[in-house]
Structure 1
């Protein structure tokens, strides 16, 4: 925690860390009185809630981190199909960052900045394609989990619908990653229940 705080302070001093969005403190309890609180597709939209802001901001941050990692992996991957898969993942991530950032900007809130410039220009891989593809599969699965959590904390229908759409998009991307792992014989079958029907034959 001390290292995290020191790092954050240094980033802030150098002006390369975007502060998390600031919202005013509540002066009194304000109860929701109308169904319009859930609206979002048409008409006037209510401002984002603190939970919605938190999830949008953190999902932009994790996508930025994923974009930087996958950029580095795409530069060094030896297999063309793995490299193409990484490039596609980078494009998906960048598009999703734009969608989340737009929601924050509409409420005059800051969005995190990219880390792409920090990726070294090397083409020599310190890792195998198998390890890099497995790592991206893990990050994609974690991203889907983050989106699921964000859906549950986003009462505004338009925000929840965006997460559902984007989750489907990365779900298809994750499936293609598993197909690549299977194609290259890199996917170990996880422990599973006994196949009783097979045992009874």
Structure 2
């Protein structure tokens, strides 16, 4: 938390901090009158809810982080399979960023800027391909979880459809990553519970 606060103060001091989108504070309580609130094709409300904006902004930031990480990994990966995997991951992250950015821009809301220009030109390997693939896998599974939460908290069908569609793409991509890890013997088996059924058979 201390490091986060220091980083934020530096960004503010340099004029680099951008304010995330926000909704005006409501002056009265309103209740949903029609089911069209959830279905945009039936004359749904023209605005995004605060929760929807929060998830769109957060998922743009995480995908931009993924694109930047991919750039660094592409420059330093020694294994061709891993490098191609990172290239594909960057393409997916940029595609997903555009989908989410379009929602915010359509509603005249600001989207966070990318951090990819901050990646240096270095091509000297800092991490092993095994470690980079592991970190990438963890990031992918975190993204799948983020999309799942966004689906559960979004109240418009078009957002739910897009999150579900993009989540399916990430799941397929993560499976391909597992295959690379297994093929290179980089995937360690986690500790398992005692196999009681095997005892009973023997």
Q: Shorter chain as normaliser: what TM range? A: over 0.9
Alpha-carbon deviation of 1:27?
0.2
Q: Secondary structure at the match of 2:7?
A: helix
Alpha-carbon deviation of 1:9?
3.2
For structure 1, the 5+ residue unaligned runs are none
2:157 is aligned with 1:135:
no
In 1, distance between residues paired with 2:118 and 2:94?
16
C-alpha contact 2:53 2:104 (8 A) present in aligned 1: yes
2:88 corresponds in structure 1 to 88
2:185 corresponds in structure 1 to 185
Alpha-carbon deviation of 1:42?
5.8
Q: Which aligned pairs between 1:6-155 and structure 2 lie closer than 5 A?
A: 6-41=6-41, 43-155=43-155
In 2, distance between residues paired with 1:139 and 1:123?
22
Report how many residues are paired: 201
Stretch of structure 1 that moved more, 85-94 or 17-26: 17-26
In 1, distance between residues paired with 2:176 and 2:19?
35
TM normalised by structure 2 equals 0.93
- CA spacing shift, 1:39–1:13, aligned 2, 3 Å: farther
Alpha-carbon deviation of 1:198?
8.1
CA-based RMSD: 1.7
Q: Secondary structure at the match of 1:102?
A: helix
In 2, distance between residues paired with 1:79 and 1:43?
51
C-alpha contact 2:36 2:44 (8 A) present in aligned 1: no
TM normalised by structure 1 equals 0.94
In 2, distance between residues paired with 1:163 and 1:170?
10
> What per-residue deviation string (whole Å, max 9, x for no partner) do you get for residues 46-91 of structure 1?
3110000000000101111111111101110001110000000000
Superposition misfits of 4+ residues, deviation over 6 angstroms: none
